[in-house]
Amino acid sequence: MMRERLYLYDTTLRDGQQTQGVQFSVAEKVRIAEALDALGVDYIEGGWPGANPTDSAFFEAAPATRARMTAFGMTKRAGRSAENDDVLARVLNAGTGTVCLVGKAHAYHVERALGITREENLESIRRSVAHVVAEGREAVFDAEHFFDGHAVDPAYARACVAAALEGGARWVVLCDTNGGTLPGGIARAVEAVIAGGVPGERLGIHTHDDTETAVAGSLAAVEAGVRQVQGTLNGLGERCGNANLTALIPTLALKAPWCERFETGVSAGALEGLTRTSRMLDETLNRVPRRQAAYVGASAFAHKAGLHASAILKDPATYEHVDPARVGNARVVPMSNQAGLSNLRGRLAEAGLEVARDDPALPRILEEVKAREAQGYSYDTAQASFEVLARRALGRLPDFFEVKRYKVTVERRKNKHDRMVSLSEAVVVVKVDGEKKLSVSESMDAAGGDRGPVNALARALAKDLGPYQPAIDDMRLVDFKVRVTQGGTEAVTRVMIDSEDGHGRRWSTVGVSANIVDASFEALLDAIVWKLSRDAPAPG
């Protein structure tokens, strides 16, 4: 059966940039545009040229893409012609083949926000779009507040759509700007527009996630007939974000009836890069990836419960709606107090540890994990700590070194400019290859600021491990989380540490104690031991 073409329009670099706390540099925008192009979206909305220096500079530096690079702007302002509107001129000057203009499609906004008449607004839409077309560009019209407008005055909302089409728009995108329209309402409005004579091949959908139904709303619009879908990577966007393309794309590509009815520009091979693309964006924004993100989250294919793990080991289809490899993600069978022997065997196999089914160490490890979780440890995320524990119980963890003692001090004192500053200092004594080594480290960043006692401890511990030093030199601590939790009857501190190395590996470790320094040290120690268990030569 011939599949219909569905066009993907990415607005990560425009609406995604409207996310609170997000501020892309030009270089970051270029990198994201290249990743979007590799993924196979049809349009990349690069920003609003003229609105800020970064967006203007991006269009000058924009990479050559197979996707249509699109400049965004708004319809001409009241009281001037499209030809004489300086804001519109700057958008056109970016020289993109496609230009998207936003305009109001709700009479209330026309009167309240723009302060013009309904007729003037229709004229503004028509003339602005016509000007874009006259300049030889493909025109997209974002019908702002379309669904709210359609709910109170369908005739006027549709007149705005008609004005854009009369002006020559290739696409009119129906926007749920405030994100409050539910999927059923979106479907009914789209059906009404199509029944009124606008072909679905000229319509797009742009939703926001204010009711956490942006993806569902977009799918409802496609089902009702639109053929262009807008969204952003990881659901970035104004307020609660836009429709999340990292959820929408795999749903369209892998799930019936979508994959049977439609084809997009995203190939099966490119889809396998989806998780990597999502993580790249988080890394660019210095954000910790959302574990529970559909398809691409670290927990999206994690099977924690014993019953799930038992079945997964027999056949992954028992608890997975799609194969994680198809989106470049991986199956995880974590250990926790919800686990059974199946989780344990699965997890050990993943770590490359072959263990006989009847190995007496297995129930011991399971018991130890459950007992330690009752004390406050959490092994389902701290998988490297689990691995260290299991290797030790199986007698497969070399004694790389022994920590004899450690000490950390924090001093608050005046510097030479008479300003109070902190200085953290740590001393760690380890025994390696029969030799005692004492390392002292301060915790200073490049600017001379104090990075705290845990940083000082980490530096001291990783300063001189003798023959093992080369194996840990490329290690760095990338995330540190502290939580007060219940350990049995007492409150204890749980520290989780994420580390990374030059091979691009990232691993998590945990430490628990009533004392935050001890908890941190335990997590640091596990991080180093895990790394050595992978990369270091065996002792002796």
Report the sign of the C-alpha dihedral through residues 86, 91, 93, 94, in that order: positive
By a kind-dependent CB cut-off of 5 to 8 A, residue 74 interacts, out of ligand ACO, ligand CC(=O)C(=O)O, none, with ligand ACO
By a kind-dependent CB cut-off of 5 to 8 A, residue 51 interacts, out of ligand CC(=O)C(=O)O, ligand ACO, none, with ligand ACO
Cβ nearer to ligand ACO, comparing 58 with 386: 58
Hey, what are 115's tokens? 């302060």
Question: In angstroms, what is the minimal distance from the CB of 287 to ligand CC(=O)C(=O)O?
Answer: 22
Report d(CA 183, CA 221) in Å as an integer. Answer: 8
Cβ nearer to ligand ACO, comparing 166 with 260: 166
Question: In angstroms, what is the minimal distance from the CB of 75 to ligand ACO?
Answer: 4
Residues 6+ apart with CB under 8 A from 53: none
Report the sign of the C-alpha dihedral through residues 257, 260, 263, 269, in that order: positive
Distances in Å between the Cα of 393 and the Cα atoms of 134, 363, 504 are 74, 11, 28
Q: Which residues of this protein are in contact with ligand ACO, per CB under 6 A?
A: 18, 48, 51-52, 74-75, 77, 102-104, 113-114, 144, 177, 238
Q: Which H or E run contains 441?
A: strand 435-442
Question: In angstroms, what is the minimal distance from the CB of 176 to ligand CC(=O)C(=O)O?
Answer: 7
By a kind-dependent CB cut-off of 5 to 8 A, residue 75 interacts, out of ligand ACO, ligand CC(=O)C(=O)O, none, with ligand ACO
Q: Which three-class secondary structure state does DSSP give residue 428?
A: strand
CA diameter of the chain: 88
Cβ nearer to ligand CC(=O)C(=O)O, comparing 178 with 375: 178
Cβ nearer to ligand ACO, comparing 102 with 523: 102
Question: In angstroms, what is the minimal distance from the CB of 437 to ligand CC(=O)C(=O)O?
Answer: 59
Q: Which residues of this protein are in contact with ligand CC(=O)C(=O)O, per CB under 6 A?
A: 15, 102, 142, 144, 175, 177, 206, 208
Q: What's the distance, Cα to Cα, between the start and end of the chain in Å?
A: 65
Question: In angstroms, what is the minimal distance from the CB of 113 to ligand ACO?
Answer: 5
Phi, psi of 181 (to 5 degrees): -90, 130
By a kind-dependent CB cut-off of 5 to 8 A, residue 206 interacts, out of ligand ACO, ligand CC(=O)C(=O)O, none, with ligand CC(=O)C(=O)O
Cβ nearer to ligand CC(=O)C(=O)O, comparing 175 with 527: 175
Report d(CA 13, CA 10) in Å as an integer. Answer: 8
Helix/strand/coil (H, E, C) string of 207-272?
Answer: EECCCCCHHHHHHHHHHHCCCEEEEEHHHCCCCCCECEHHHHHHHHHHCCCHHHHEECCCCHHHHC
Question: In angstroms, what is the minimal distance from the CB of 115 to ligand ACO?
Answer: 7
Question: In angstroms, what is the minimal distance from the CB of 246 to ligand ACO?
Answer: 21
Of 101, 22, 32, whose CA–CA distance to 62 is shortest?
32
